[in-house]
Amino acid sequence: MAGAAPLVALARRAADSDIFYSFRRSPMTVAAAAMTLVFIVGAVFAPWLAPHDPFESVTVELLDAFTPPVWDARGDPRFLIGTDDQGRDVLSVIMYGSRISLMVGFAAVIFSMVLGVSLGVVSGYAGGFTDAVIMRLADVKLTLPGILVALMVDGIARAAMPRELHDALAIYVVIFAIGISGWPQYARVTRGATMVEKNKEYVAAARVIGLHPVTIMFRHVLPNVMGPVLVLATLGLALAIIAEATLSFLGVGVPATTPSLGTLIRIGNSFLFSGEWWITLFPSLALVLLALSVNLLGDWLRDALNPKLR
């Protein structure tokens, strides 16, 4: 097939690349990537893969509530790791919950990355007064803990919107709240890299032909500063997932009707001392594994892209 030839060549180049070599050489990274992949596949294809549909009221029986995992004597083979207080299969709920967690995580990271990178490139390229204003804004933002800002945003959104509207928009409010607290890191990293790149002669060459500064920033400088930003984004994904879980655990995140990992942990938490430990333990384990895998991937990416550590 003629159309596949470039794809094959691309795959071969990727397989020969230094990055892939360093990937294969690190078993920890391969394991982390595999685990992340399991989570993503499980989350994306949850409607097809999950053993039960936790949102289908026809199949959810309150009689099944608090069924322990199968290895317990009271366990039920239909529910591998037990059921929660409403009789929903915990495994299925985790798969559906990871959907929300991953979605919010990715969206929040993309939001803070777009905002931070744009401000950072402008700041580094323009310099002077613009730079000072943007960087002092970032400093102010950095003095406020991320969770606090997220709580504030959520509080304002709750006060400003009628209840039904807030529930419908809750997930976007969470994305905004987490995203807005993450941008200064991206802005700083991008600004530093931009200040290095803008003095290189290829930028001068672009200025000589009279290109608009915005064109130069986004077509010339941006591709050359994305390396460290991608590392930051990978590490930031784990942080965003944890932040979402924290908000949901505190009850200010996504509404209980669309449970995320954090909501599940919160619900299970109330039954922890009455002996129904599996309701909170398994979502917590899932959260830890997911955050750890993504973090390990980010660490590896940071080392693999750092020429000094090769």
Partner 1 sequence: MAEAGQPIVEVVGLARYFDVSKPWLARVLQGQPRLTLKAVDGIDFAIRRGETFSLVGESGCGKSTVARLIVGLHRPTRGHIRFDGVDLTALGTRAAQAPFRRRMQMIFQDPFASLNPRWRVRDIVAEPLRAFALVATGETVAGRVAELLTQVGLSANDGEKYPHEFSGGQRQRISIARALSGNPEFLVCDEPTSALDVSVQAQILNLMKDLQRRLGLTYLFISHNLAVIDHVSDRVGVMYLGRLCEVADAQSLFRRPRHPYTRLLLDTIPDLAMTGRARGPVAGEVPSPIAPPPGCAFHPRCPHAGERCRLEAPALLEHDGALIACHGVEEGRL
List interacting residues with partner 1 (CB under 8 A).
200-202, 204-212, 220, 223-224
Give the nearest distance from C-beta 203 to partner 1 in angstroms: 8
- Half-sphere exposure of residue 98: CA atoms within 13 angstroms, side-chain side: 30
Yes or no: say if 116 and 193 are a contact pair by the CB < 8 Å rule: no
Give the nearest distance from C-beta 214 to partner 1 in angstroms: 12
Paired with 83 in beta bridges are: 89
Query: Closer CB to partner 1, residue 9 or residue 41?
Result: 9
CA 260 from chain centre, in angstroms, equals: 13
Q: What is the DSSP letter of 218?
A: I
Query: Closer CB to partner 1, residue 222 or residue 267?
Result: 222
Q: What sign has the CA pseudo-torsion 123, 129, 133, 136?
A: positive
Query: Closer CB to partner 1, residue 75 or residue 213?
Result: 213
Give the nearest distance from C-beta 141 to partner 1 in angstroms: 22
Query: Closer CB to partner 1, residue 129 or residue 273?
Result: 129
Give the nearest distance from C-beta 308 to partner 1 in angstroms: 18
Query: Closer CB to partner 1, residue 138 or residue 222?
Result: 222
- Element housing 200 (H / E): none
Give the nearest distance from C-beta 226 to partner 1 in angstroms: 9
Q: Could you tell me where the DSSP H helices lie in 45-162?
A: 46-49, 90-126, 128-143, 146-160
Paired with 89 in beta bridges are: 83
Yes or no: say if 93 and 85 are a contact pair by the CB < 8 Å rule: no
